[in-house]
Chain A
Amino acid sequence: MRLLSHNLLMCNVKGCSENNYPLRILVQKSKIIEAELNPDFLRKLVTKLDWKGLHTTLISLDFHKFPEQLAEDDWKNEEFLKELHNVLMQTHIIEGKLVCPNCQREYPIVNGIPNMILKDSELK
């Protein structure tokens, strides 16, 4: 699971509607899988996402090189593009957990796949 994908996820357990995003990530194993950098594609994609949440997540994983707010110029910076691409598109979480900051529900990630199937008691 890429960090880009993680930005789309939230906890939807019954009763959990606030502070349920972004999910905290505990990484046990990650992997770099190379992908071709397409600056246009990346810029358009990241612009749709929630940079604030992404940034918080990146910090929590010790990626401190990224600005709190994105500026136009950042997208022209090759270094920035390469690093962003590496961390958002090439880094995959293989083993770990996603944890809801609100209800503390843990979703295991095994073999790159988060299992987010809810129990009956968690259904609305």
Chain B
Amino acid sequence: FFFLMIRRPPRSTQSRSSAASDVYKRQLPDFSQEVLSRVHTLPGIAEQGPFDQLTINDYYPGQGIPPHFDTHSPFEEFFCSLCLGSGVVMSFKSHKGDQKHIFLPQRSLVIFSGEARFAWLHSIASRKLDKVDGKLFFRRRRISLTFRRIKHDPCRCAYPFYCDSQGYDPVDVKKKRKKGGEDIEKQQGISVGEITEEGSNPSELEKKYVYDVYDKIAPHFSHTRYKPWPKIESFLNGLEQSSIVVDIGCGNGKYLPVNSANLYSLGTDRSHSLIEICRERDEKFQVFSAESLQLPIRDSIADVAISIAVIHHFSNKAMRIRAIQELTRVTRIGGQILIYVWAFEQDKNFGSQDVFVPWHLQFKYEDNDVVNTSIKEKEDDEEEKASDKSKIEELDVEIDEGRKTVVYKRYYHLFKKGELESLIAELPFLQIEESFYDHANWCVRLRRLS
């Protein structure tokens, strides 16, 4: 059956995604049939099947629509839009920051597919005129007819970082933005430059930009890490009774209470501060602090080992491999290993794989002496000034006066698609059973073989 939706130009507060539930009438209007009979023969659209949803937008000069992309899962790949009454310039922006402006003439049809459909934001500026080839065009009242085909199975596109069927959660991301959680910190990755450390033990880089930072930010970090990710939750909920689960790099113990009636979970983290927070949450949590590259856990004793957002903190391949080796060693033959690492391919442009990601530690969580010190000139004692300055320099932090935060840098090696799999391919006794993208992480579920 057919859906028809007529609406006024959306304001910025409205949801970007087309709500297929706003049903007005159940038939595509007669006047659209002629256009559709021509459009339905076009390559791509012919294979996809006829359009069965129509959205009509009515734009007065000066009205536009903010940057958005059409949610993947409700509709098939190809959709098209007929531009009536006036031409208009449509703007496109990619997640990498590239921009394009395309003039859509009156009575033209624009067809969206592929990368433009799945991974670029499109928008129309709220203005009364457009400039095309040096000429000014005054907009008239414009009516767009956008035809889509409703989709009934999950999206399997090649752009998982925007795909709601493959782990992208736009509503969740907006919530997190407001709470100052994970998403804000991904805004600027500061490139680290060349990593020259070769060894398989944590270097000064890990100590300064991972271990020390987590110890410092532990309470604030824990405050923003409260929601277990659904896929990990359901993985844990599906395990056999009495499974022994070790969470290597458990942070604030987010996954320790999952399915606790059935599982025996043990958590460990290199940050003793975070482990203390685990215990504050629940004194029954079994936790201890330890180095994940050399675990004080017996061989082959766990049914499952999980490593969620941990291995990306190691600055060279030798350490990352070693982390996976340790996960393997402690897991019994036939047991499973679940690894999540931050993806390079996500809707924030990181620029390079090795980055410092800022953490804004609110003043209330920070020591007074760090907050009160600034590198500005003061009328202080020369000696005091110098030692204060060196303390800030030693910590390598900045004071963000506007946001009232101390900014710490955390080191990340962002994984490219396939990189995690290629690391695992170098190790024996591991079989990749599942490989996927979830919430801006590349993930694998492994089986330990004999």
Interface residues, chain A, with chain B CB atoms under 8 Å away: 1-2, 4-5, 8-12, 21, 33, 35, 38, 40-41, 44-45, 48-49, 92, 107, 111-118, 120, 123-124
Contact = CB atoms under 8 A, between A and B. Distances in A.
Nearest to B244: A48
Contacts of B298: 8-10, 21
Interface in B76-135: none
B150 interface: no
The list of the 4 closest CB pairs from A to B, nearest first, reads A44-B242, A114-B288, A116-B290, A5-B286
Contacts of B246: 8
A10 B296 contact: yes
Interface of B: 201-202, 241-242, 244, 246, 261-262, 264, 266, 268, 270, 272, 275-276, 279, 283-284, 286-291, 293-298, 301-303
A104 to B, nearest CB: 15
Contacts of B288: 1, 5, 9, 113-116
Given A2-B286, A41-B241, A49-B301, 13 more contacts: A4-B286, A33-B283, A33-B284, A38-B261, A44-B241, A112-B279, A113-B272, A113-B275, A113-B279, A116-B296, A117-B272, A118-B291, A123-B202
Given A33-B283, A48-B244, A112-B283, A118 B289 contact: no
Given A5-B266, A8-B301, A117-B270, A45 B242 contact: yes
23 contacts: A1-B288, A8-B298, A8-B301, A8-B302, A9-B288, A12-B297, A40-B242, A41-B261, A41-B262, A44-B242, A45-B264, A92-B283, A107-B296, A111-B276, A112-B279, A113-B279, A115-B288, A117-B270, A117-B272, A117-B290, A117-B291, A118-B290, A123-B201
Contacts of B201: 120, 123-124
B279 A12 contact: no
A2 B279 CA distance: 13
Nearest to B264: A45
A12 B296 contact: yes
A21 B297 CA distance: 10
A92 B356 CA distance: 40
Contact of A9 (B275, B293, B297): B297
Contact of A113 (B202, B241, B276, B295): B276
A102 B280 CA distance: 33
A11 B289 CA distance: 13
B291 A45 contact: no
A109 B114 CA distance: 57
Nearest to B269: A117
Contact of B242 (A10, A48, A115, A123): A48
Most buried by A among B201, B287, B294, B302: B294
Nearest to B287: A113
A120 B294 CA distance: 11
Contact of B289 (A38, A49, A117): A117
Nearest to B262: A41
Nearest to A53: B298
B294 A124 contact: yes
Contacts of B287: 113
A32 B156 CA distance: 51
